[in-house]
Structure 1
Amino acid sequence: MWPSLQRWWGVILILVAVCATVWLGVTQQLVLYIHPRYVVFTVVMAGIALVLGVLSIAVRPADTEGSAPRRGWSRVVGGLALLLSGAVALTLVLIPPTTLSSATASQRDIVGSTVGSDSQNVDEVENADDELLASFTVVDWASLLRQTSDPSFYANKTADLVGFITASEDDPSNIFYLSRFTVTCCAVDAQPTGVAVYAPEWQNEFEVDGWIEVTGSFETNPSSRSDLPLVLVPETMTAVERPSEPYLY
């Protein structure tokens, strides 16, 4: 009875995990866990796992008895393994997928992040037109800010950015970070980056982790509590829905 239960339970767990993976892929939520370039591969592998799981039902090796102590130890280990794997499978199904939050960004040091440090070059952007600047993301502007804090470089350059709010530690009443995560492989290696936005009493209108679009220019930081040389001073700030692909790549 016990060996049979072990085999069937394993197949059930495989089917649950496979179905959850395929569902995430079909609903375009798999990108919350892995880089988009791996989505097709992952879904294909899930399909193969499904086929192998079905075949394992048809091909069943004969049960072997073994000694009583050995069978007892096997049952204990097997039971623990089933409980753990069952919890993982249920987590995939019952807990809705979400993006990484400002708490993760703070833990991974958004201020000191060097993600995308070479995504743009100040010499090439010096005379960039409005069309090119409109395509820049949080990562692009953060990379430029790490290279130069000369206010004259940012004169007449307008930034139009979308990200989520992470509160500043130095001056949380007046400054927040417009943040995004960049993903190389999966959410485990996601790294935060962001630009500081000077918006006094921003909490009256927006909340931490809320997604907003900010349009403005980079100017000398007016805050006396923050040592950041430049901040994004908004012309407009608008709450927006989370993008279908919240991470940058």
Structure 2
Amino acid sequence: MKRNVQVLLLLFLGVGLLHISLLTDLYLRYVREGLRPALIASGVLLIALGAVSAARDGFPFNRPRTDGAQDHDDGHGHSHAGGPKVAWLLYVPALTILFLAPPALGSYTASRDEAKAPKAPSSSSSGDSLFPALPDTGVVPMSLNDFSSRAVWDTDRTLKGRTVRLTGFVTPGRDGTWYVSRLVISCCAADAQVRKVRVHGASAPPADAWVTVTGTWHPTGKVGTDDASPALDITAVRRVPAPKDPYHDMVTGPGGG
């Protein structure tokens, strides 16, 4: 039985990795887009190892014992001949990836962290502003990362009087407050960092709903210090489909960053 568990586990894991990385975009719920080739290679390798093991042991992977030993249970939850029965639980993550891919991280994770901006940018040696002026357009689409950085650290106040557009998922706060949020990853979902912008002026849509909000900067705290926090007075809220890559907090076009 132990060989069955090992061989089938390799095959299921390999097929699961290929399913989420080669046939679908589900891998983007767990890792960055650039890791796709590594996931595909890992899936192929696992399937190859499982196939070699299956061919070596013969089908259905159980060879009869030739030493006269008999399988028996010792009363402690495992068989002397086949290893611990709990090994079957290893199939759970493999089958979950294959048949029931967990959703991307959302409001449950974001609500565990306080709203905070990225670290203060390094000073410019040339004397140029760290935050260049926003393009002279009506509504400026921005990433939550860029908006948060400007709202907290931009002492030139380039956001003042400008109408911006942000996209993210809804995270409920305390006492009826809510946030537009994004989770940004460096490698995988395990290192996700939260970006949250508090919203003023509208009731909250359902938690985890993806929305695009339009509004103006709501100054909170002293800009240039840790007391400041990103917030927005909104004039419009629109429900939008969840993006293919939920951790990619970038905007193409004017105001992107």
> Normalising by structure 1, what TM-score?
0.77
Equivalent of residue 6 in structure 1, options 2, 5, 20: 2
1:129 to 129, 132, 135: 135
Number of the residue aligned with 2:11:
15
Equivalent residues in 2 for 1:1-249 (5 A)? 5-25=1-21, 26-60=23-57, 75=79, 78-107=83-112, 109-112=113-116, 114-115=117-118, 118=121, 123-130=129-136, 134=140, 136-148=142-154, 152-169=157-174, 172-173=175-176, 175-200=177-202, 202-203=203-204, 206-220=205-219, 231-248=231-248
8 Å CA contact retained: 1:210, 1:239:
yes
Question: What RMSD over aligned residues (CA atoms) do the two structures have, in Å?
Answer: 3.4
Following TM superposition, by how much is the alpha carbon of 1:153 offset from its aligned partner in structure 2, in angstroms? 3.5
Q: Distance in 2 between matches of 1:11 and 1:94?
A: 19
**Partners of 1:116 and 1:140 within 8 A in 2:** no
Preserved CA contact (<8 Å) 1:214 1:234: yes
Equivalent AA in structure 2 for residue 192 of structure 1:
V
Which range moves more in the overlay, 24-33 or 76-85? 76-85
Paired residues of 1:119 and 1:140 also in contact (CA < 8 A) = no
* Equivalent position SS for 1:154: coil
1:183 Cα deviation from its structure 2 partner:
0.7
Q: Deviations over 1:188-207 (max 9, x none)?
A: 1112111111024x13xx11
Preserved contact between residue 110 and residue 193 of structure 1 (Cα < 8 Å): no
Once the 2 structures are TM-superposed, how far is the Cα of residue 244 of structure 1 from its aligned partner? 0.5
Segments of 5+ residues of structure 1 without an aligned counterpart are 222-226
Aligned residues: 230
User: How far, CA to CA, are the matches of 2:16 and 2:182 in structure 1?
Assistant: 26
Structure 1 residue 127 displacement after superposition: 1.9
**Which has the larger share of helix?**
1
Runs of 4+ in 1 over 3 A off after TM superposition: 60-74, 114-122, 227-230
- 1: distance between equivalents of 2:26 and 2:123? 29
Distance 1:118 1:66 in 2: 72
**Residue range with higher mean Cα deviation, 8-17 or 227-236:** 227-236
1:162 shift after superposition: 0.6
Once the two structures are TM-superposed, the CA of residue 178 in structure 1 deviates from its matched residue by: 0.6
- Taking a change above 3 Å as real, the CA distance of residues 104 and 56 of structure 1, as seen in their structure-2 partners, is same
Specify whether residues 19 and 110 from structure 1 end up closer, same or farther in structure 2 by C-alpha distance, changes over 3 A only: farther
List alignment gaps of at least 5 residues for structure 2.
221-226, 250-257
- Conserved in 2, the CA contact under 8 Å of 1:105 and 1:166? yes
